[in-house]
Every structure is written in C-alpha cells, then in structure tokens.
Amino acid sequence: MLNPPNILTIAGSDSGGGAGIQADLKTIMAMGGYGMSVITALTAQNGLGVTGIHAPDPDFVALQLHTVLDGFSIAAAKTGMLFSAPIIRAVAPILRQRSFPLVVDPVSVSQSGSNLLHKDAVSALINDIIPGCDLLTPNRPEAEMLTNTTIDTFEDAAAAGEKLLQMGARAVLIKGGHMESSVVVTDCLCIEGQAPKALPQAKVDTINNHGTGCTLSAAIAVGLGKGLPLQVAVTRAQEYLNLALRRSYTPGNGVGPVNHAAALNV
C-alpha cells in the first residue's frame, strides 16, 4: 500500500472543532491524505460564535511553514484563514516558490458573522496570494467582495469567476451555497481558457453547516495531491461534503459541523 500524500493546511484554529485547522485535518485523513498544519490564528469559538482571536507573530507563522517544507515533501496545500496583511506577506514569498498545487479559500467571515480577515488584508490577499494559485474557492459574499460585483445568478458567478482569473488565479470555484434555491446548490467552476462549468449538488436541509468551505477546499487539496485532474478533484470533494452534510449532527449548542467521518462508515 502506498503512503498517503502529505497535505498541508495553512489556516486558523477552531476551538469548537468544526472549521479551520481541525476541519481540514479531519477531512484530509478521511479523504486518504496525511495532514500537517501551519496555524495562522487561534480562535475561541463554538457553535454560537467567535468570542476572541489571537494571532501569532508573522515571523513565527513563516517559521512553521519553512519547518514543514524542510521536513516533508508536500503533495498539495490549502490556505484558509490568513487573518492579517503581515501574515499574508510573511507566507506569500514562501508559497511562490512551491512545487505543489495550492488551493486558496479566501476566508473572510465566519458562519456566525465574525470577521476573520482584516480589512487591510484584502489587498494583500489579492496581490500576494491569489496570483498563481491553482484554485480559488470563494463563496458568494467572498467573490462579491473580491470583484466588487453583485452575484445573483450563475451568469453573474461566471462573470465574477472570469474577473478572478484575470487577477491571476489559474482556476476559480465560486460556491453556490449562498444562492437561493430550495433543491440544488450549483457551484461555478472557471478554468483558464475554458467555458464556465455548472457543478450541481442536491441541497441538504440542515443547520449544521459550520466549516463547509474549509472542508471542501481541504478535500479538493487531497484530490490534487493524489494527482487527480482539477474537475475530478472538485466533484469528488463535492460528493464528500454533501455526504458529510447529510449525516451532520449537533454536538453542542448552536450551529453544528458537518460529519467529517461520514464517508468512513464508523
């Protein structure tokens, strides 16, 4: 049996376990990867919301990244909550030298409405992280923020995706979870040089959707780390997330997470 691919997540910690580093590592293992992490911020949060954020010194974030890259051969990586411009500026030059696929989830606001990205960090994200990334995975509000447009339809999403490609992303997946539909969620996949693709999934009626974006991007990173073509990695990640939503539960008060172990039948 071959060793699992080494998958790196660069993101914030969720003390409630449903999103961030914790969701990423659970997803990576469930999808058949070996997970490692660079922690950009500590959050105090549960299903009711975020009560505090503490970020380490940017130089220490960079040291984590250097140390992981020195000790492991990375098959793929993802970024999640990067929090501040100084942290982005610390990790961006290192990531530009990478030899592996990079998925960028431009995390800006938590499910409970807390800001997870400083306002002054948006330009750093646009200038230093998005250019050259292999896949950018914004939800509707994040795509609207990054492109300064309004997205109401699939055609709007495709137009926003084209703008994000022009910003330097090699591919963009605009997630459809915030679009109004009672039966289907349609993600819009835009790949450089190709027509936009609609990737629908049945909508799951549950309030336990904490960490969906983190989970999807981590699952895609595993697929890319295994050498899958981009669209195949995306659709397999969609299927994993959809199952995790269907089997979600509420471990505590407030909004629950998806069930990262659903595919393991345990």
Q: How high is the pLDDT of residue 115?
A: 66
Determine how β-strand 49-54 pairs with β-strand 135-136: unpaired
Q: Residue 64, Cα to own-chain centre: how many angstroms?
A: 19
pLDDT at 120: 83
User: What one-character DSSP code corresponds to residue 136?
Assistant: E
Q: Quick one: 83 exposed, middle or buried, by C-beta within 10 A (0-12, 13-18, 19+)?
A: buried
Region 6-142+211-254: CATH code:
3.40.1190.20
**Distance, CA of 37 to CA of 197 (rounded, Å):** 31
pLDDT for 263 equals: 86
**Confidence at residue 113, expressed as pLDDT on a 0 to 100 scale:** 57
- Considering only CA atoms, give the Rg of the chain: 17
This prediction's pTM: 0.96
Q: ∠ CA 207-210-215 to the nearest 5 degrees?
A: 125
Q: Can you read off the two tokens belonging to residue 109?
A: 């606001």
Which residues of the chain are under the pLDDT cut of 70? 1, 109-115, 178, 180-182, 266
| Cα of 192 vs its chain's centroid, Å | 20
